[in-house]
Amino acid sequence: MADPSSPPGELASDPGRRDRGRREPGRRDREAVAEHRQLRYVPPPGAATLLLVRHGESAPFREDEPPPLLGGASDPELDPVGVEQAARLAERLGGEDLAAIYVTPLRRTAQTAAPLAARLGLEPRVEPDLREVFLGDWEGGLYRKHVREAHPIALRLREVGRWDVIPGAEPAAEFAGRVRAGIARIGAAHAGERVVVVVHGGVIGQALALAAGSRPLAFAWADNGSISELVVLDDLWTVRSYNDTAHL
């Protein structure tokens, strides 16, 4: 006999059909509430993504054979280790959609960029404002010597976080100003694009410190051949990664 409380055509002896269409407690409430899952980072519209690459390892300093200078700055060529690092960098980034490659006037950056530029068919562009910090009396390889020997000024440099404790070195404000200008110029030229910028350890440190509002030398020790990612949109700079050496 049909259950009077059942809809027409539904039999009381079919408990599965009787429950069909019923909602478990709270189900309707859960369906009515939107879910917001965690998302992957996406650069803001119009932002440029700069892959800041520290040049490969340069030739060692020999006290009986000072390196060549360019405008007073040390300009050694890549060591064979640095050449290998450049090749590995090209393998790592060779499949990327890159709009441009930038280097500095110092040849170790151009030599590092060369394998990647050849693979992508891009002609590197020179950004003079991103040359390495000028080390004054310690140019020509003396910086390496004095750091290795724990010179008192080298210890002071790390303590206060300023390159300009070195006699004759570039003033901190001037260095920060030109790094900011160089990065901003590249960012403005590549809205919505990804570019590689092969530079120097001091420059990477200064650029990321500007972005993070940190001590000037907090990011100054990137490894040769490493990649650090900086997203630039006008005055909004975002550090996405630092010292990535997975390809090495």
Domain range summary for the chain, segments of one domain joined by +: 48-244
Q: What amino acid positions are annotated as catalytic residues?
A: 55, 132
pLDDT of 27 higher than 80:
no
Residue 86 · residue 60 · CB < 8 Å: no
Select from 69, 48, 51, 67 the least CA-distant residue to 59. Answer: 67
pLDDT at position 215 is 93
**What's the chain's average pLDDT?**
90
Min mean pLDDT across 9-23, 32-46, 81-95, 133-147 is at 9-23
DSSP H helices, 52-198, are 80-93, 107-120, 142-148, 152-160, 172-189
21 has pLDDT over 90: no
pTM: 0.85
Whole-number pLDDT of residue 17: 46
User: Is domain 48-244 classified as CATH 1.25.40.10?
Assistant: no
> Do 236 and 44 meet the contact criterion of CB atoms below 8 Å apart?
yes
Q: How many CB atoms lie within 10 A of CB 28?
A: 9
Q: Residue 6 — pLDDT band, cuts 50, 70, 90?
A: very low
Above 90 in pLDDT, residue 10?
Answer: no
